[in-house]
């Protein structure tokens, strides 16, 4: 197997001639917690469904555990090693919590009874209650229990905290980190909650209109990305071309705000070359990176 | 465990099929007792006409595709939510379809066997004219001939929601019945007649051609259903 647990190359998928994925290149390192971000309709769920073998790509290729997802025979093996939480958190309405656990357990030889008991208690899931009588938050918890207890090597979580209250979200995020740390499970999760992603992810990928626009280690990204505030002494004409690495420029009077993705020192030097300027550097949040890229794209 | 899921999914449908079957038989028996001119023989004749429709109804109720696991009124935008959970299990689509189809088929076979036992016990004139072996042969014929209708419903379940599937099965069965009576298809292959007037209860022979035709058609329909399930994107 390669260093990547998930790898896609130029993945394309259209629905009725409407492209959902346009040459997606995604690399998820083994053992990482990978936050998959994007606006509504950016292609997150299409990507996840393609990785799970629920959709077939039009072109390009996708591998999970080094196995091509298009190979229907081997896709069963992929699914045996994955814990999956669907976006809608829908489960069989005719089963109780207990019945659903009893139903799911035999499909996974690596099932962890200890984790099942632990999360049943932690999430306060009533074993005898029918699925339709559970709130959305409870269903999310149950899906997580089913995904985690599988002893999966890879957890694919589509909006895992959707419907959870802040306390449950906090507990869950802590647990996800603990699982990743203790069992070397790779986590690939999509979320709209950027603060959550920033807290637990070590790698991120931002998808927009079916293309990966930013990807990499979150720490590297935070080191590379900086906001520069340039204050000019007088009203001056801004350079027509900034040094390579400037992602966006915003001007309000004598103050110019630059978002730099790399090459920060050269940009600072360029700004300082204008007489009478002061330059300050600020760290950026994931939210800023996300908003800047999705807006400019 | 797919068997367990299938049973939980279909147990109320089985009750509904048995209940509807019981209700229809009850109505027919009630008509016999109130109309003095009718006899067991007349009732038997009426049953031979109504049994093919009854069997079609049982097939329409019990079939399913193994993927769509929620009743359609809970479905959203044509997709059943729990479908994604089912498809995320490490199970091939062939196995999903085969297990679900087998459960419904076995339940249908059980319902038809119960129907035949009921007729045998409730109609003394039937016991007088038909041997137990012939009744057993009739049960087998009924199950075999119903298989084509059942797998038609399984095929429809791969792309239609529950309520449309039931209607589709009824319409499909009617089309098949029409084809047998209005086209040069051999009468010996007529699966509806094999459940009625050409059945072992009346003709005292086993309608092998109809049985073979039905089982062949069932196999083709199952294969078509498998191809649809394997090709479909969810």
Minimal Cβ distance to B81: which of A90, A99, A108: A90
**Would you say A280 and A250 are in contact if contact means Cβ atoms under 8 Å apart?**
no
**Sheet order of strands, A33-38 included:** A82-85, A154-158, A186-190, A33-38, A203-208, A211-217
Q: Please answer yes or no on whether A91 and B82 come within 8 Å at the CB atom.
A: yes
So where are chain B's domains? 2-231
Six token digits for residue A24: 């997606």
pLDDT in tens, A257-271: 888 888 888 888 888
Indicate which of B77, B84, B226 best probes the interface with A, i.e. most A CBs within 10 Å of its own CB. Answer: B84
Q: How far is residue A95's CA from residue A115's CA, in Å, rounded to a whole number?
A: 21
CB distance A95–B8 less than 8 Å?
A: yes
Does B84 sit within 8 Å of A54, measured CB to CB? yes
A90: chain B residues, CB-CB within 8 Å? 70, 80-82, 84-85
Highest mean pLDDT pick, A26-40, A182-196, B179-193 = A26-40
Residue B83, pLDDT above cutoff 70: yes
Measure the CA–CA gap between B142 and B180, rounded to whole angstroms: 17
Interface touch A55/B233, C-beta < 8 Å: yes
What is residue A13's predicted lDDT score, i.e. its pLDDT?
A: 95
Q: Average pLDDT in the B73-79 region?
A: 46
Per the CB < 8 A criterion, the answer to whether A20 and A43 are in contact is: yes
Interfacial residues of B (vs A; Cβ cutoff 8 Å): 1, 4-5, 8-9, 69-71, 74, 76, 80-82, 84-85, 87-93, 230, 233-234
Per-residue model confidence as pLDDT tens digits over A6-64: 999 999 999 988 999 999 999 999 999 999 999 888 999 999 999 998 899 999 999 99
Q: Both tokens of residue B138?
A: 């009739």
Confidence of residue B81 (pLDDT cuts 50, 70, 90): low
Cα separation, B49 vs B47, whole angstroms: 5
Question: If you average pLDDT over every residue of chain B, what do you get?
Answer: 85
- Does residue A43 contact residue A209 with C-beta atoms inside 8 Å? yes
User: Which residues on chain A are in Cβ contact (under 8 Å) with B89?
Assistant: 79, 104, 107
Q: What is the mean pLDDT of residues B172-201?
A: 89
Choose between B82 and A190: higher pLDDT: A190
Q: Are B13 and B109 in contact (CB under 8 A)?
A: no
Residue A182 pLDDT greater than 80, yes or no: no
Tell me the sheet residues that pair with A168.
none
pLDDT tens digits, B24-37? 888 877 776 665 55
Which pLDDT score is estimated for B102?
Answer: 94
Burial class, B76, CB count within 10 angstroms (exposed 0-12 / middle 13-18 / buried 19+): exposed
A91 has a chain B CB within 8 A of its CB: yes
**Chain A residues near residue B71 by CB distance under 8 angstroms:** 93
- Mean pLDDT computed over A139-165: 87
- Mean pLDDT to the nearest integer, B190-212: 90
User: A93 and B230 in contact by Cβ < 8 A?
Assistant: no
Best A48, A72, A93, A157 member to test B by mutation, with max B CBs in 10 Å, is A93
Q: CB distance from A282 to chain B under 8 Å?
A: no
pLDDT tens-digit map of B113-169: 998 988 888 888 788 888 899 999 999 999 999 999 999 999 998 888 878 888 999
| DSSP per-residue codes, B14-31 | HHHHHHHHHHHHHHHHHH
Instruction: Select from A80, A93, A108 the Cβ nearest to the Cβ of B74.
Output: A93
C-alpha span between B27 and A10 (Å, rounded): 65
User: Half-sphere exposure (CA, 13 Å, Cβ side) for B85?
Assistant: 26
B38 has a pLDDT exceeding 80? no
A4-219 placed in CATH 3.40.470.10: no
Q: Which residue has the tokens 């259903």?
A: B225
pLDDT band, very low/low/confident/very high, at B208 (cuts 50, 70, 90): very high
- The DSSP code for A138 is H
CB contact under 8 A, B85 and A86: yes
- Is residue B209 predicted with pLDDT exceeding 60? yes
Give residue for tokens 């790399």. A262
A27 beta partners: A7
Residues of B in contact with A93 (CB under 8 A): 70-71, 74, 82
B156, B169 in Cβ contact below 8 A?
yes
CA A179, A181, A182, A188: dihedral to nearest 10 degrees? 40
Greater confidence, B125 or A110? A110
Which of these, A156, A242, A79, B191, lies nearest to A257 by C-alpha position? A242
CB contact under 8 A, A90 and B69: no
Interface residue A67 vs chain B (CB under 8 A): no
**A248 CB-contact burial (10 Å; exposed 0-12 / middle 13-18 / buried 19+):** middle
ipTM of the complex: 0.83
Q: Check residue B52 and give left, alpha or beta (phi > 0: left; psi -120 to 50: alpha).
A: alpha
């Amino acid at each position: 197997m390669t260093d990547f647990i998930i790898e896609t190359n130029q993945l394309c998928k259209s629905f009725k001639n409407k492209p959902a994925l346009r040459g997606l290149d995604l690399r998820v390192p083994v053992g990482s917690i990978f936050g998959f971000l994007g606006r509504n309709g950016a292609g997150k769920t299409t990507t996840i469904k393609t990785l799970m073998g629920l959709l077939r790509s039009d072109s390009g290729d996708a591998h999970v555990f080094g196995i091509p997802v298009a190979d229907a025979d081997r896709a069963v093996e992929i699914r045996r090693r994955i814990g999956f939480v669907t976006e809608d958190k829908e489960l069989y309405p005719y089963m109780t919590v207990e019945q659903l656990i009893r139903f799911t357990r035999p499909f996974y030889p690596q099932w962890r009874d200890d984790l099942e008991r632990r999360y049943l208690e932690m999430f306060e899931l009533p074993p005898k209650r029918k699925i339709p009588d559970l709130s959305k938050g409870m269903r999310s918890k149950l899906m997580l229990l089913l995904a985690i207890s599988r002893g999966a090597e890879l957890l694919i979580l589509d909006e895992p905290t959707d419907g959870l209250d802040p306390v449950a979200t906090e507990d869950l995020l802590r647990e996800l980190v603990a699982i990743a740390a203790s069992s070397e499970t790779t986590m690939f999760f999509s979320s709209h909650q950027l603060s959550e992603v920033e807290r637990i992810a070590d790698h991120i990928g931002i998808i927009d209109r079916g293309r990966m626009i930013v990807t990499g280690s979150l720490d590297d990204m935070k080191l590379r990305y900086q906001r520069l505030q340039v204050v000019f002494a007088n009203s001056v004409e801004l350079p027509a071309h900034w040094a390579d690495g400037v992602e966006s420029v915003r001007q309000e009077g004598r103050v110019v705000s630059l978002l730099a993705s790399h090459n920060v020192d050269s940009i600072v030097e360029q700004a300082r070359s204008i007489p009478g300027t002061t330059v300050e550097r600020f760290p950026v949040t994931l939210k800023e990176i996300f908003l800047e890229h999705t807006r400019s794209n | 465990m797919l068997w367990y899921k299938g049973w939980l999914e279909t147990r109320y449908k089985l009750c509904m099929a048995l209940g509807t079957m019981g209700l229809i038989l009850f109505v027919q028996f009630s008509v016999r007792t109130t109309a003095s001119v009718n006899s067991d023989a007349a009732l038997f004749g009426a049953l031979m006409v109504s049994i093919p429709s009854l069997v079609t109804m049982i097939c329409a109720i019990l079939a399913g595709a193994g993927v769509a696991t929620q009743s359609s009124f809970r479905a959203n935008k044509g997709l059943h939510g729990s479908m994604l959970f089912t498809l995320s299990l490490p199970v091939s689509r062939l196995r999903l379809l085969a297990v679900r189809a087998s459960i419904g088929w076995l339940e249908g076979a059980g319902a038809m066997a119960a129907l035949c036992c009921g007729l045998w016990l409730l109609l003394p004139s039937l016991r007088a004219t038909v041997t137990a072996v012939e009744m057993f042969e009739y049960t087998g014929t009924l199950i075999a001939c119903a298989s084509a209708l059942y797998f038609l419903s399984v095929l429809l379940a791969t792309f239609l929601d529950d309520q449309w599937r039931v209607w589709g099965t009824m319409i499909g069965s009617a089309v098949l019945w029409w084809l047998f009576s209005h086209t040069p298809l051999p009468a010996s292959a007529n699966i509806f007649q094999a459940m009625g007037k050409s059945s072992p209860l009346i003709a005292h022979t086993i309608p092998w051609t109809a049985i073979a035709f039905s089982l062949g058609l069932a196999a083709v329909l199952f294969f078509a259903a498998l191809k649809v399930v394997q090709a479909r994107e969810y």
